[in-house]
Structure 1
Amino acid sequence: MQVPLQAVPNQTLTVILDNNTWAVTLKTVEDTTVVSLTLNNTDLLDSARAVAGALIIPSQYEESGNFLFLSSNNQLPYYTQFGVTQSLVYVSAAELAVFRTPPAPPITAADFNPIAALPLRFAPQGYL
């Protein structure tokens, strides 16, 4: 879902997404955009540098969703291009779950075949 941004250098907006209240603050520092995020009145992120195509919130804290900037040619987000060639997108927790790698199954004794041939370098003397 696209989050509406204005083409102004500093802005704070509050949006309700998936029954959570997000406060998104974007500030321009020289030629860089920094992002601060608050989820349900709890600060999650303070002045992180915005980059295109990368999730903003570290993965261990994204159980309520995440955000990313989309831009043409992966340019750094800059306020003059908000709504033109750049946008902020919310990715829900359900959408993130699709991309997570499932945990590897545990290795058990059933995974080993005691009758299998040994590699040559591990073969005992006289082994055929």
Structure 2
Amino acid sequence: MQVPLQAVPNQTLTVILDNNTWAVTLKTVEDTTVVSLTLNNTDLLDSARAVAGALIIPSQYEESGNFLFLSSNNQLPYYTQFGVTQSLVYVSAAELAVFRTPPAPPITAADFNPIAALPLRFAPQGYM
């Protein structure tokens, strides 16, 4: 879902997405856009550098969804291009779950066969 942005250097907007209240603050610092996010009055992120094509919230905190900037040619987000060639997109928790890979099972002693042949590169000299 696209989040509406204005082509102004500093802005704060509040949107309700998936029954959560998000406050998104975008600030321009020199030629860089930084993002601050608040979820249900709890600060999640403060002044993180915005980049195109990367999720904004670290994965361990994205249980309520995440955001990313889309831009043509992966340009850094900059306010003059908001709504022109750049947009902010919300990705719901359900959509994120589709892309997550299940965790790998732990490796245990049962995974090793003590009488199996050694791979050639690990075979001692003269080993047949």
Fold match (TM-score > 0.5): yes
When residues 113 and 11 of structure 1 are mapped into structure 2, their CA distance, relative to the original with a 3 A threshold, is: same
1:40-67 Cα distance to aligned partner (Å, 9 max, x none) = 0001111111111111111111111110
The alpha carbon displacement at 1:25 in A equals: 0.6
Which residues of structure 1 form unaligned runs of 5+? none
Q: SS at 1:38's partner residue? A: strand
Worse-matched range after superposition: 77-86 or 103-112: 103-112
Question: Taking structure 2 as the reference length, what is the TM-score of the superposition?
Answer: 0.87
RMSD over aligned CA atoms reads 2.1
When residues 49 and 120 of structure 1 are mapped into structure 2, their CA distance, relative to the original with a 3 A threshold, is: closer
Paired residues in the alignment total 128
Which residues of structure 2 form unaligned runs of 5+? none
1:4-39 Cα distance to aligned partner (Å, 9 max, x none) = 111111111110111100000111111111111000
The alpha carbon displacement at 1:123 in A equals: 6.5
Deviation beyond 2 Å, 4+ runs, structure 1: 106-128
Radius of gyration: which is bigger?
1
Question: Taking structure 1 as the reference length, what is the TM-score of the superposition?
Answer: 0.87
